[in-house]
Amino acid sequence: MHTVLRIRTNNRTSFVNITRQVREEVRKSGVKSGLCVVYVPHTTAAVFINEGADPDVIKDIAYALEKLIPWTDKNYAHAEGNSAAHIRSSIIGNSRIVPIEDGELLLGTWEAIFLVEFDGPRERKVYIKIIGD
């Protein structure tokens, strides 16, 4: 069994901290030792883990992605005009696995789980699958 979170994004690029919701699903599962899979079934969105305490880290990531993969480029071939969103999503990835011990996600002190929207605003699904005892 899995859980589906529905997350509404407000901008073309949005970083949404979903750590609280994922922790709640782990708690509700009752699993004490196992794995938590977080998966985004979209080709223009991603999920990653990084610092959640300082919002400037997210600003820096957004800035660097824009520099590396600009939204517009005359050489993009994809007809829908959202090639940058597809490229960014491909580089970051659409899933993460986090260990669970003693009923808690084994995240580092400053780590958080983020859904990243690259082609919004939209409603996105985030699948959470908890595997364990």
For residue range 1-11, list pLDDT tens digits in order: 789 999 999 99
For residue range 70-129, list pLDDT tens digits in order: 998 888 999 888 999 999 999 999 999 999 999 999 999 999 999 999 999 999 999 999
CATH code at position 128: 2.60.120.460
For the chain, how many structural domains are there in total?
A: 1
**Cα–Cα distance for residue pair 19/25, rounded to 1 Å:** 10
**Cα–Cα distance for residue pair 2/7, rounded to 1 Å:** 16
Task: Please report the pLDDT score of residue 82 as a whole number.
Answer: 93
* Alpha helices (H) along the chain: 19-29, 55-68, 83-92
Domain range spanning residue 18?
2-132
Higher pLDDT, 47 or 75: 47
For residue range 1-46, list pLDDT tens digits in order: 789 999 999 999 999 999 999 999 999 999 999 999 999 999 999 9
**Cα–Cα distance for residue pair 22/51, rounded to 1 Å:** 16
